[in-house]
A and B are shown apart, each in its own frame.
Chain A
Amino acid sequence: MKKTIYTMWKRCEENYSELPAVRWLIKKNIQERSYGELAAAVSAIKKGLAAQGFSHKHIALIGTASAEWIEAYMSVVTSTNAAVPMDSGLPAEDIIDLVYRSDSEGVFLDGKFSSLAEQIREKCPLVRKIWMLSGDAVEGTETIADLAAAGEGQDEPEQPEEDDVSMIVYTSGTTGKSKGVMLTQCNLYSNIEAVLYEEGPGLVFLSVLPVHHAFCLTMDWLNGFWMGSVICINDNLRQMIRNISIYNPDVMLMVPLMLETIYKRLKSLGSDVPPEAIAQKVFGPKLKRIFTGGAHLDPYYIGEFEKYGIKVYEGYGMSECSPVITNNREGACKLGSIGKALSNAEIKFENGEILVRGTSVMKGYYKMEKETEETLRDGWLHTGDKGYIDEDGFIFINGRVKNLIILSNGENISPEEIEGKLALNDLIGEIVVTGEDNLLTARIYPEKELVANMSEEEKAAALQKILDEYNKTQPTYKQLSRLVIRQNPFIKNASRKIIRHEVLRDEPTV
């Protein structure tokens, strides 16, 4: 049997047909689709894709989590095509750039983002088809029903091979340009296979992570489907806590930021109320396990959640590994560690850096040979994280080799990318972006001649205005919350490059 998402999905179709697969809300009312219904929709879209000539092509998905988004995604990853899930929160120009750079020939577009259709058609000449996931078809697009109709009466298209790329996930690069991580059918399959739970079908997941993230797609959706679970869609992060009590999940995957917010909510319910009563109110009767990843969680929270009867298991991964590399699990966890390596991952250390080899390690970065060679050497993926392993096989992280800033929402921020954009402004002589207290700080040495006649207040106002303009165009996690105006240029090395690790020591004031 081939280790592909296609074969996994075939098993779901055969074994879980009558069971619920997806739940979502319309005005607080739960809607549901069974595995059988989902499989029928997936099959129809897949035949439509084949009929329209989509075989071994790249297909972008733009939108937030919805039943339609998942149907389209499953249609692509169970075919020979590769899905390119996009962060719909990015500025329009960045989304278009990724559609272009990924060589996508088809685009599934959520109705909320229909205004992008015209720009995609204009700027991405390879795109032959745009299918609307919701709403009416706008000019130059088709609906999902049109696509399904195109495939009516067709045979099942050819199935993918293990080494076919099934998904390209864009991730922040240290050079400022995001990189397309190519994950094969086998990469995804192996990652799920290595984390399966012991429970049978019917486990309820509440999926609160952004749907374009590898952590969400592999560990909420594909892993959930494999086990015959029900995956509930959190329609809006604002209502995450309320939705827990509506869906009553058994399991949730979160980034640390979410645990921090929920913890504040727990504490606000009062120290005189028994923790069991608080847990019942916030988590419902069934939630006992939360898996966290994407960024390191302060171990303090693990102990605190335990008081409410919730076990928090921290894991570690990156898109390049499909994404999970290590995890804490029932019967094998250690506070402060990121757990043990998955059964399909081999780990070693080189000058303190964690290297990974195994069946979940990516094929490479799409059309970025130099970056691929730097990251994948002799089959070993260089994670950029520093760590060590203890005598029991638990792994701990204690720093980073590269410049990426990792926020507690799991977003990886490339400081160079932001610096590059802001440096275009005349007033900015030198800039370094740093992350402290989970916020981004712009540290700027203004262009000396241009600010010579300005007071400190005028300088601050002018620079703040530049940051405000930039922030308006960015998703929340990329916004600059703080400004430090430097009195002196940054310290540089012999080749005139700014020494990044000196910037905080040098002029730290915020």
Chain B
Amino acid sequence: MEIESKFKKVAERYCSVKAEDITNDMKPRDDLGLSSLDLMTLLGDLEDELDIEFEFSEDDNKLAGIVTVEDAINLLKEYAEE
């Protein structure tokens, strides 16, 4: 839950939707208006906030797998748990 709320709070920096209005089924591009770089930068901000480090680079398929907000949250959880 903590990761979910952090994600939404940080997402606010790059989109005009408020954290409390972001739902897990929203699509980063279509619903939040995030560009591919916004999404990457947002994940980078969360790496710092959660003190985790993704080992994949920007062109990795892991990013292609993020279709919804929930996918991004799950990716963060995967790393935070390790």
Segment among A40-48, A168-176, A254-262, A328-336 that sits at the interface with chain B: A254-262
Q: Is residue A476 within 8 Å, beta carbon to beta carbon, of the partner chain?
A: yes
Contact across chains for B35 and A257 when beta carbons are under 8 A apart: yes
Q: Is residue B54 within 8 Å, beta carbon to beta carbon, of the partner chain?
A: yes
Contact across chains for A268 and B14 when beta carbons are under 8 A apart: yes
Q: In the complex, what residues of B have CB within 8 A of residue A477's CB?
A: 36
Q: Is residue A166 within 8 Å, beta carbon to beta carbon, of the partner chain?
A: no
Q: In the complex, what residues of A have CB within 8 A of residue B35's CB?
A: 257, 260-261, 408, 438
- A242 to B36: give the CA distance in the assembly, Å: 17
- A510 to B14: give the CA distance in the assembly, Å: 23
Q: Is residue A112 within 8 Å, beta carbon to beta carbon, of the partner chain?
A: yes
Chain A contact residues: helix, strand, loop or mixed = helix
Contact across chains for A238 and B47 when beta carbons are under 8 A apart: yes
- Contacting B57 at CB < 8 Å: which of A64, A471, A474? A64
- A471 to B64: give the CA distance in the assembly, Å: 7
Which residue of chain A lies nearest to B40 when distances are taken between CB atoms in the complex? A238
Tell whether A439 pairs with B58 under 8 Å between CB atoms, given A237-B40, A257-B35, A268-B13: no
Q: Is residue B4 within 8 Å, beta carbon to beta carbon, of the partner chain?
A: no
Which residue of chain A lies nearest to B61 when distances are taken between CB atoms in the complex? A472
Give residues of chain B (41-59) contacting chain A, Cβ–Cβ below 8 Å: 41, 43-45, 47-48, 54, 57-59
Contact with B along A222-250 (1 / 0, CB 8 A): 00000000000000111111100000000
Contact across chains for B59 and A88 when beta carbons are under 8 A apart: yes
Contact across chains for A265 and B30 when beta carbons are under 8 A apart: no
Contact across chains for B29 and A238 when beta carbons are under 8 A apart: no
Q: In the complex, what residues of B have CB within 8 A of residue A409's CB?
A: 36-37
Contact across chains for B13 and A264 when beta carbons are under 8 A apart: yes
Q: Is residue A303 within 8 Å, beta carbon to beta carbon, of the partner chain?
A: no
Which residue of chain A lies nearest to B14 when distances are taken between CB atoms in the complex? A264
Q: In the complex, what residues of B have CB within 8 A of residue A264's CB?
A: 13-15, 38
Nearest CB of chain B from residue A257's CB, rounded to whole Å: 5
Contact across chains for A257 and B14 when beta carbons are under 8 A apart: no
Number of residue pairs spanning A and B whose beta carbons lie under 8 angstroms apart: 72
Q: Is residue B70 within 8 Å, beta carbon to beta carbon, of the partner chain?
A: no
Contact across chains for A241 and B14 when beta carbons are under 8 A apart: no
Tell whether A236 pairs with B44 under 8 Å between CB atoms, given A265-B14, A472-B64, A474-B64: yes
Q: In the complex, what residues of B have CB within 8 A of residue A261's CB?
A: 14, 35, 37-38, 41
Tell whether A241 pairs with B37 under 8 Å between CB atoms, given A112-B57, A474-B64, A476-B59: no
Contact across chains for A89 and B14 when beta carbons are under 8 A apart: no
Contact across chains for A237 and B38 when beta carbons are under 8 A apart: no
Q: In the complex, what residues of B have CB within 8 A of residue A258's CB?
A: 37
- A258 to B57: give the CA distance in the assembly, Å: 17
Contact with B along A462-496 (1 / 0, CB 8 A): 00000000011011110101100000000000000
Contact across chains for A237 and B37 when beta carbons are under 8 A apart: yes
Contact across chains for B64 and A237 when beta carbons are under 8 A apart: no
Q: In the complex, what residues of A have CB within 8 A of residue B63's CB?
A: 476
Contact with A along B5-43 (1 / 0, CB 8 A): 000000011110000000000000110000111101101
- Contacting B48 at CB < 8 Å: which of A89, A242, A475, A481? A242
Q: In the complex, what residues of B have CB within 8 A of residue A438's CB?
A: 35
Tell whether A481 pairs with B40 under 8 Å between CB atoms, given A89-B59, A268-B14, A472-B61: no
- A88 to B13: give the CA distance in the assembly, Å: 30
> A-side interface residues toward B, CB under 8 Å?
64, 88-89, 112, 236-242, 257-258, 260-261, 264-265, 268, 408-409, 438-439, 471-472, 474-477, 479, 481-482
Known: A241-B41, A257-B35, A476-B59. 15 other contacts (CB 8 A): A88-B59, A89-B58, A237-B41, A237-B44, A238-B41, A239-B47, A241-B45, A257-B37, A258-B37, A261-B14, A264-B13, A264-B15, A409-B37, A472-B65, A481-B29
> B-side interface residues toward A, CB under 8 Å?
12-15, 29-30, 35-38, 40-41, 43-45, 47-48, 54, 57-59, 61, 63-65
25 A-B pairs within 8 Å (CB atoms) are namely A64-B57, A89-B58, A236-B58, A237-B58, A238-B41, A238-B43, A238-B44, A239-B44, A239-B47, A241-B45, A242-B44, A242-B48, A257-B35, A261-B35, A261-B37, A261-B38, A261-B41, A264-B13, A264-B15, A264-B38, A268-B12, A408-B35, A409-B37, A438-B35, A472-B61
10 closest residue pairs by CB, A with B: A89-B59, A238-B44, A268-B13, A237-B58, A476-B36, A261-B37, A264-B14, A238-B40, A239-B44, A475-B59
